[in-house]
A = this chain, B = another copy of it.
Amino acid sequence: MSRGESALLTDLYQLTMLQAYFDERMNATAVFEFFVRALPQGRNFLLAAGLEQVLCYLEQLRVTGAELDWLRARGGFSEPFLEALGALRFTGDVHALPEGTACFIDEPLVRITAPIPQAQLVESRLLSLMHLETLIASKAARSVLAAPGKLLVDFGMRRAHGAEAGLLAARAAYLAGFSGTATVLAGIEFGVPVFGTMAHSYIEAHADEVSAFRGFARSAPANVVLLIDTYDTERAARKVVRLAPELAREGIRVRGVRLDSGDLAAHARAVRAILDSGGLREVTIFSSGNLDELKVKQLLASGAPIDGFGIGTSLDTSSDAPFLDCAYKLQEYAGTPRRKHSEGKATWPGRKQVFRHYAPDGTLDHDVVALEGDPQPGTPLLVPVMRAGKRVAAAESLASARARAAAEMARLPAHLRLLAPAHKPYRVEIAPSLLELAAELDRMPH
């Protein structure tokens, strides 16, 4: 069993609360919603992602016998409770924004409606999955906007925060419009296209660069992209020009070169000139090396003749904004709306829906967050995805979610598509009836 599939990949307090709910016979229906409280500095929108992993998690949720034994040995839990915990399955309903939907603050991305022990237990893992993929998809979207039509490859697994971060970053980046990833297992698990050529170590292990280029080309004739910055970039480009006819006689075509260090714009121009004057106009230039969407935009704005980008650490760690201020909060219990009042962390109570309004040109205009039962104009965004613990439809393909993300990004107003913070953030209104309900709850005694 992978670690992410263990029901005990959770916070201990979920279990202490479940013991208390059990003792107090509290098993009524709870409604929790996952939402983002604030956009990180410099982000103008989010792309919802992670739902598919959440649904898989809910489908297979169960505490194993070995895990129950560990809890028993640890103490603090009653036998009748542990028995109930072993029998617990997720039998609730899930409403959510489809993956790839553009979304904003205060909007529920996922709503869980289930007996409170179930809805409570899943909090930590649901947060973890929705947070990570929404974070990375939203970061990746910025590179997609910065480099339309370019090849964009996720290179970040090695500095992602562990195995799952690397895999889900590859998935989320592809969903947001990346061309693919370097991570093989993401190809196996999610069908993300996988790219890769060679490292500096391969070049260095050879007596000289030309031997390395020749050896690699013969070994991978369909995928000859040569790394040319190990020693001297322009000299290496000239070596490629001299080697190309020899390889051509063997029926091998050099497809591209990769730059990974130095002044990428200057090197790309010099290398392009060397390749072109050497008759290698078809050979593409791919670049990597501490890139992020701002550097990519700058390189392209400067006219650097670069055809593709490998983006690693900045993408997989969302390095400028490595987390979202997100939460999963109780909004209703036993039919009554609930509200947390904590200073600076108050929530909007009740089961909510997001209604989207479009401008005449088809771009997003504003959203209204309203109680589900409060009829509103606009397009409702949350849809039912699970009822009584079963999916309402087969899993959506990643290709379909990716197409949605592309369509959504195409409908973003121009000022939200900029990498710089929008002067005017996207408008998310709280419907009057929701404001009233919140005020009413604030007046109640506790």
Tell me the A residues contacting B by CB distance below 8 Å.
Answer: 1-4, 6, 8-17, 19-24, 26, 30, 32, 67, 70, 74-76, 116, 120, 123-125, 127-129, 131-132, 135, 155, 157-169, 182-185, 187-189, 194-202, 204-205, 208-209, 215-216, 218-220, 222-223, 229-232, 260-263, 289, 313, 317-319, 322-324, 326, 329-330, 333-334, 338-345, 445-446
Whether A158 pairs with B187 at a CB distance below 8 angstroms is no
Whether B158 pairs with A196 at a CB distance below 8 angstroms is no
Residues from chain B with Cβ under 8 Å of A313 in the complex: 323
Whether B163 pairs with A9 at a CB distance below 8 angstroms is yes
The 4 closest A-B pairs by CB, nearest first: A12-B196, A162-B164, A13-B196, A4-B163
A317: contacting residue among B9, B161, B202, B230, CB under 8 A: B161
A166 to B163, CA, bound (A): 11
From known contacts A128-B157, A157-B11, A220-B19, infer whether A200 and B329 are also in contact, taking CB-CB under 8 Å. Answer: yes
CB distance from A440 to the nearest CB of B (A): 15
From known contacts A204-B338, A220-B76, A229-B342, infer whether A23 and B215 are also in contact, taking CB-CB under 8 Å. Answer: yes
A128: contacting residue among B159, B209, B341, CB under 8 A: B159
Instruction: Give how many copies assemble into the complex.
Output: 2
CB distance from A27 to the nearest CB of B (A): 11
A420 to B204, CA, bound (A): 39
From known contacts A13-B182, A15-B184, infer whether A340 and B204 are also in contact, taking CB-CB under 8 Å. Answer: yes
Chain B residue at minimal CB-CB distance from A200? B340
CB distance from A28 to the nearest CB of B (A): 8
Whether A341 pairs with B232 at a CB distance below 8 angstroms is yes
Residues from chain B with Cβ under 8 Å of A158 in the complex: 11, 123-124, 127-128, 131
Q: Offer 16 A-B interface pairs, CB within 8 angstroms, sorted by A.
A: A3-B167, A10-B184, A11-B157, A13-B182, A17-B198, A17-B202, A120-B199, A128-B166, A161-B162, A161-B317, A162-B163, A163-B164, A164-B164, A200-B342, A313-B323, A319-B322
A32 to B204, CA, bound (A): 12
| 16 further interface pairs, Cβ-Cβ under 8 Å (given A2-B3, A128-B160, A132-B161) | A1-B2, A10-B183, A11-B183, A11-B196, A13-B197, A16-B198, A16-B220, A20-B216, A20-B220, A135-B161, A159-B323, A161-B162, A229-B342, A232-B341, A261-B343, A318-B322
A16 to B202, CA, bound (A): 10
Whether A195 pairs with B338 at a CB distance below 8 angstroms is no
A116: contacting residue among B166, B205, B326, CB under 8 A: B205
A199 to B120, CA, bound (A): 9
Whether A200 pairs with B330 at a CB distance below 8 angstroms is yes
Residues from chain B with Cβ under 8 Å of A10 in the complex: 157, 183-185
A30 to B70, CA, bound (A): 43
A161: contacting residue among B1, B20, B160, CB under 8 A: B160
A342: contacting residue among B26, B230, B329, B446, CB under 8 A: B230
A157 to B328, CA, bound (A): 14
Whether B166 pairs with A333 at a CB distance below 8 angstroms is no
Whether A2 pairs with B163 at a CB distance below 8 angstroms is yes
Whether A131 pairs with B159 at a CB distance below 8 angstroms is yes
